[in-house]
Structure 1
Amino acid sequence: SDNGLTFADAVATACETADIRIRLGSLEPEAMDLATLQRFSQYKNFCPQFHLALQSGCDATLRRMNRHYTTAEYAAIVKNIRDVFENPSLTTDVMVGFPGETEAEFHQSLSFVESIGFAKVHIFPYSRRPGTVADKAPDQLSPAVKKERAARMAQATHQSTEAFFRSQLGRTEPVLIETRSKDGYYEGYTMNYTPVHLPAAPEHINHILPVRLTALDPSGTFCLGTCVDAVKDS
């Protein structure tokens, strides 16, 4: 920026001055270089949940999208995150059905997404936007093809979400209780943004509880847990 400060400086300042959890939103992969990751890892209130925009796991599709990274570069960033942080989670966005995406290219994208092991993937089919380069591109895919590919991607990523949540079972994590859930339990999040439902009380909302993650809900969309200690103010 004009004053010489960087995105990493802003995050570091927030971590140093605010006695709350600091969690980042959607990120461009290139922003998470090794030095930045190592800097963030020094802060106990920095949440190790990284939403790194992917868009496609196929290099040819990424080039047509004018994305400025390759799948190899993306995978290297993911490796750095997992090397620097003890228990991070990775989430992303994936588009299917971009103009010109062949079945082989979709399969490459699907295989790459599976190889990363994301905790959660937001999947969306490409939709045309008048005036954009992609809207004028040849080889537009039919709605039926895009819907079918989105369903296949969703099936694969649901399995990776379940696998990630299962990897959290048995851990005792600080869970910030946020609200009462529809199932009668209370809902909160660990530092890596794993959703947890647990027995609690109204006075626990906006407090951090040490919670042992005990099981995966049958839906595969959140963990179940039990409080193991006294309430700690957030």
Structure 2
Amino acid sequence: MNKKVAFYTLGCKLNFSETSTIARSLVKEGFDRVGFDEKADMYVINTCSVTENADKKFKTIVKQAQKSNPQAFIAAIGCYAQLKPEELIAVDGVDLVLGATEKFNIADYVNDLSKNVMGEVHSCEIQEADFYVGSYAIGDRTRAFLKVQDGCDYKCTYCTIPLARGISRSDSLENVLKNAQEIAEQGIKEIVLTGVNIGDYGKGEFGNKRHEHTFLDLVRALEYVDGIHRLRISSIEPNLLKNETIDFVAQSDRFVPHFHIPLQSGSDALLKLMKRRYLTDLYVDRVKKIKEVIPNCCIGVDVIVGFPGETDAHFLETYNFLKDLDISYLHVFTYSERDNTEAATMEGVVPKKIRNKRSKMLRALSVKKRRAFYESQLGAELEVLFEGENKEGYIHGFTENYVKVKTPWNPELVNTLHNVRLKEIAEDGIVTIGFVNAEVIA
């Protein structure tokens, strides 16, 4: 009987892509992959360190694994494992902690899966994380997350990612295209490009700093991968989102009209404290350029509330900046102190109660923004990729410009693309549709 392994992933799309690659490597070693709620011989938890909650959740997940099998071997990998391995190994039941470079060779560390009397830590100095491991995740039958870049050379004062993932480095163009072709051959219709700082693509290929290719080279090459119907750019820094890329997406047959652009604050004073590489003027310019050439484009925004020194006036500056901007939704992050970051030592700490209040205000603004964007699309004829789950008698999907839609459940629609007309916004905020014709696009 093959040993069984189960995975739990915290955090970003990049973590999901790496979990999938590590899982495939263990399957090649003779493991059978099972769900995390099933009994397994080994549980692997891919950790995140971006927020306090991700840290706290780890213990709960370990207990969940122990409930399924008290004798199971438990391994922790990922960003939190790199930053604070001693904290993770101290959690009761954890046998192995692997850092940024070791996680991709997990099979070399697990031996016979007998519980360790003393937990083992194998964690490199982050300067040693100077090589690149390509990966991709197939989250469901409709879309895949394709990692193209890792690490970051930026020094944002609130962020631990450079400490957890090392310097910026990229996959070779050849390998990205190979992975994209493998995804296409599995019948996946959409690829989401992911990385820590994907606009930096081409920098540090295999640990050096030669600029072999640019991000624009990458998107141009992916346009010609057979079998992929949609390509979506995940988060990209405003200073790295060039006019040429926006213009390319505007005329592309495959790259969809959807950008997610981190802002973090609408106050120039705070952007400077955060050591971001742009000010609000540049951000406004990027949004205007996108809307000029792709009027129906969906634009998502990351924003942090409660950063040290954020006064009521700074927050209102951010709130009004976002209110007046032609964007579609927000991802709101409540600032949490992270060890070994510059921001953790800054003055002007914002009380948690105020952070939470500001977070609620921006989340409410996000709901209004999303609704206004959906309303602007009603009556439009768009293309929907349907997903694979029956949710209370409905099948859901997303248009190319990221409007969430639903129609009564029909298993034949799963992983198919259809032309539809957007009808109205239902009580749950999801858009109902009518089919333009019965033909399947793909």
- The letter of the residue matching 1:10 is L
SS in 2 for 1:46: coil
* Deviations 1:142-181 (CA, angstroms, capped at 9, x unpaired): 1101011111111122111110111111111110111234
Matched residues in 2 for 1:233 and 1:168: separation?
21
Cross-structure match for 1:183: 392
* Deviations 1:104-142 (CA, angstroms, capped at 9, x unpaired): 000000011111132221111100001110000011111
SS in 2 for 1:22: strand
* Deviations 1:61-114 (CA, angstroms, capped at 9, x unpaired): 111110111111101001111111141000011110000000000000001111
**Rg comparison, structure with higher value:** 2
Matched residues in 1 for 2:221 and 2:383: separation?
23
SS in 1 for 2:251: coil
The yes-or-no answer on 1:140 pairing with 2:349 is: yes
Matched residues in 1 for 2:388 and 2:263: separation?
31
Segments of 4+ moved more than 4 angstroms = none
Matches within 5 A, 1:94-109: 94-109=303-318
Match of 1:26 among 217, 223, 235: 235
Matches within 5 A, 1:30-49: 30-49=239-258
Matched residues in 2 for 1:84 and 1:31: separation?
18
Matched residues in 2 for 1:117 and 1:32: separation?
17
The yes-or-no answer on 1:225 pairing with 2:433 is: yes
Contact 2:249 2:256 survives alignment (8 Å): no
Match of 1:73 among 272, 282, 285: 282
**TM-score of the aligned structures, taking structure 2 as reference length:** 0.51
Matched residues in 2 for 1:38 and 1:155: separation?
32
My pick for the range that moved more, 153-162 or 93-102, is: 153-162
Matched residues in 2 for 1:225 and 1:204: separation?
13
- The letter of the residue matching 2:278 is Y
**What is the Cα deviation at residue 3 of structure 1?**
5.5
How many residue pairs match? The answer is 233
Cross-structure match for 1:117: 326
Could you say if the C-alpha distance between residues 147 and 3 of structure 1 is closer, same or farther in structure 2, counting changes exceeding 3 Å? closer
Cross-structure match for 2:223: 15
- The letter of the residue matching 2:310 is E
The yes-or-no answer on 1:5 pairing with 2:213 is: yes
Matched residues in 1 for 2:440 and 2:296: separation?
21
**What is the Cα deviation at residue 17 of structure 1?**
1.9
**What is the Cα deviation at residue 41 of structure 1?**
2.1
**TM-score of the aligned structures, taking structure 1 as reference length:** 0.95
* Deviations 1:157-215 (CA, angstroms, capped at 9, x unpaired): 21111101111111111101112342311111111111111135211111111111101
- The letter of the residue matching 2:251 is Q
- The letter of the residue matching 2:365 is A
The yes-or-no answer on 1:165 pairing with 2:385 is: no
Cross-structure match for 1:151: 360
The yes-or-no answer on 1:193 pairing with 2:406 is: no
SS in 2 for 1:100: coil
My pick for the range that moved more, 94-103 or 7-16, is: 7-16
Matched residues in 2 for 1:146 and 1:86: separation?
34
Q: % of aligned pairs identical?
A: 34
- Gap regions ≥5 residues in structure 2: 1-201, 203-209
Could you say if the C-alpha distance between residues 104 and 214 of structure 1 is closer, same or farther in structure 2, counting changes exceeding 3 Å? same
Could you say if the C-alpha distance between residues 157 and 228 of structure 1 is closer, same or farther in structure 2, counting changes exceeding 3 Å? same
My pick for the range that moved more, 33-42 or 159-168, is: 33-42
Matches within 5 A, 1:205-216: 205-216=414-425
SS in 2 for 1:177: strand
Matched residues in 2 for 1:199 and 1:15: separation?
33
